Structure 1
Amino acid sequence: MSTITRPRSAAPKAVPAVDGAKLFDRLCAVCVTLFALIWLVPFAWALATSLRSDGSITENPTSLFAGGWSLHAYSYAWDNHPIGTWYLNSLVISALAVLFTVGFGSMAGFALAFLRYRGRAVVLALVAAGLMLPSEALVLPQFIEYRSFHLLGTFWALVLPSVAAPISVFVFQAFFRGIPRALIEAARIDGASWWRVYARICMPISRPALSTVAILTFISTWNSFLWPLLVLNQTTSQTIPVGLASLVSNSNIQYAEVMASSVLGFLPLIAVFLVFQRQIVQGVATTGIK
């Protein structure tokens, strides 16, 4: 008896699977490019406007090349306004704020991470509540407080409020909690005090958290506007943001001069970020701050 064999049907062609990883990478690259353009276009516009003359800006405000480019606005702004003094004031205030914020924030984070004492939960709740309050809501109480201490018009009125930064406490606490507990217990068994554990063990290995807090504090203090505007009433003691705002006049706005001063104001921040961007990313990734 003969058997009838049916011809086998051709196997369906395998559909090439879509590489999800490459597609995701391309999508991320497109998003990053769009966000970079959103941030770079205003910067490029301000830079190009600062190199033009006021007459060409008034005649052709949308043309970036009309009238030619020159550095006259930069020299005029530097010679006719105390921008150098504003730079020095901002640098001194930001440096002091970084120094005190890193010192007190690291000690507070160390205490919350390792020490066990009565009322620790209450302290932690108060620090967390500080994250929920907007800085504008504290302007009036702080103004009354520093007026009572006769600190208005001084740099300490700008430095001290930035020291009480809840985010710095949480950054250091998150990093310190990642240190192996056995290392701390071994140091305590060997007779090391808590201060020695903090200074000799925890701080030397907390460079990512330290750099993150330092850079973020420097940038926020440098960009602060409302509080320095209320506290500092003399032109020579003003900071860069407040000084740049005083250049804008309702009667006669010199666009090139204002843009040149703005470019001079945020160039240090760009330099700080470009130099320390690796430390910022490493610190954020290590501490888990979102």
Structure 2
Amino acid sequence: MNIQKTKPRLRSGFTLVELLVVIAIIGVLISLLLPAVQQAREAARRMQCSNNMKQIGLGLHNYHDTHKVFPPGWFNRGHLWSGRILPYIEQKNLYDTLLFGESDNWAPAGPNEDACGTFISAYFCPTMPLPQHYDSFNSIKNRVPMSYLGNSGTLSSADKVKQVNTSYGPLSLQALDQNGVIFGCKGMRFADITDGTSNTIAVGEAQTDPKFGKDGQAVDHWYIGSNQIDPCRCDGSNHGAEFSETVGSAAVKMNARLNDPSVSGHLLELSFGSYHPGGAMFTRCDGSVAFLPDTINFNTYQALFTRNGGEVNQGY
């Protein structure tokens, strides 16, 4: 009887070199995949931001249909354009809690302050890397930052007359005669936008950052109401402050913190911009939404912010 000896079975497995090669390949694949995933996420966030701005545009149109004008940027008691259109962006219940009397303010505690602390997704770009609430910022508790600013035009370079930089713009936001669409105390009509509603910006994004400051000026933007703007006399006098909480100016470049960082903090706060790479979203007066690259020619950029400048839009 022959007894055959069986050879021991060799175990298959990875050598150390093979294992390192596999790990290296996985690392390369991940490095290729992550940017694509991040781009897909940003594309989704940009689409949501565009939807927000479309909703704001529809709110402005519905407000105009009711009142025959666009909402002013603010009123004498600090009520902002973003608060006035609440009933037209499905926030009527919140709007109905607001108090509009002369004796009412935005802080301390009360329904107006509570409204400023109510999160409204349509006013918050999902790309903006900020908390949804800031505790007691400018005396208003749980205040929610705003991603979008009304278009005051191209003339203002500061909130107050004493801060004006005439190299950028001859006016402050205290002036009542701006060349944009949304600014202090005056409501513009469609008929006032002689450059055409498709050629004129109504609202744009801002690179809001309440914790960033320069020259004593924070880049803070808010919605519904402002205790710093209240009271404003609406007579063009040196009264009221921080109008740049709710409107911007094209006197300065888009994304000035990146593209013109040497300018004053007052101009930085007025700058439109965003946390999207390469530019920002804007709502035109006809309700359409466009993404403008921050490489846009500055003259073309400014022309989009004047309602009656007579410029010929060369495209962008």
Q: TM-score, normalised by structure 2?
A: 0.28
Computing the radius of gyration over CA atoms, which structure comes out larger, 1 or 2?
1
Higher RCO (CA < 8 A, seq sep 6+): 1
Q: TM-score, normalised by structure 1?
A: 0.30
Q: Would you tell me which structure has more helix in proportion to its own residues?
A: 1
